[in-house]
Amino acid sequence: MKIYTSIQDYITENIYNGGFDHPITDDQAEDIAREMLVWHDEIDDRGNINLNRSGLVEREGVDFWDVVSRICFED
C-alpha cells in the first residue's frame, strides 16, 4: 500500500505524470484525487497511531480510469 502525504503528491505522481493524452484541469485533477484517496491510520498493537505509516491511500475497489472517465468526459 503506497502512502501519500498530500493530495498534491498523489496528483503529481498519478495524474500529471500519468501519461494522459487529454488535457486535464487542476479542478479535475483534484476531484479525481479526492475520489481515489482515503485517510489511513496505521495502528500498532498498543492502539497507538504510527504517524510514519499513516496518510492518504487509494480506496480499495475504486478503479482509477472509471473515475477519470466520469470526471473528465461525462457531462
Domain residue spans in the chain? 7-73
Question: CA-CA distance, 20 to 42, in Å (whole number)?
Answer: 32
Closest CA to 36 of 73, 50, 24, 70: 70
Is 70's pLDDT higher than 90?
yes
Q: Are 43 and 60 in contact (CB under 8 A)?
A: no
Q: Could you give phi then psi for residue 27, rounded to 5 degrees?
A: -65, -40
- What is the residue whose three cell numbers read 497511531? 49
Is 75 a residue whose pLDDT tops 70? no
The pLDDT of residue 23 is 85
pLDDT digits (tens, 9 = 90+) for 6-62: 999 999 999 888 777 778 899 999 999 999 999 998 888 999 888 778 899 999 999
* Whole-model pTM over 0.75: yes
Could you tell me which of 54, 71, 73 has the C-alpha nearest to residue 62? 71
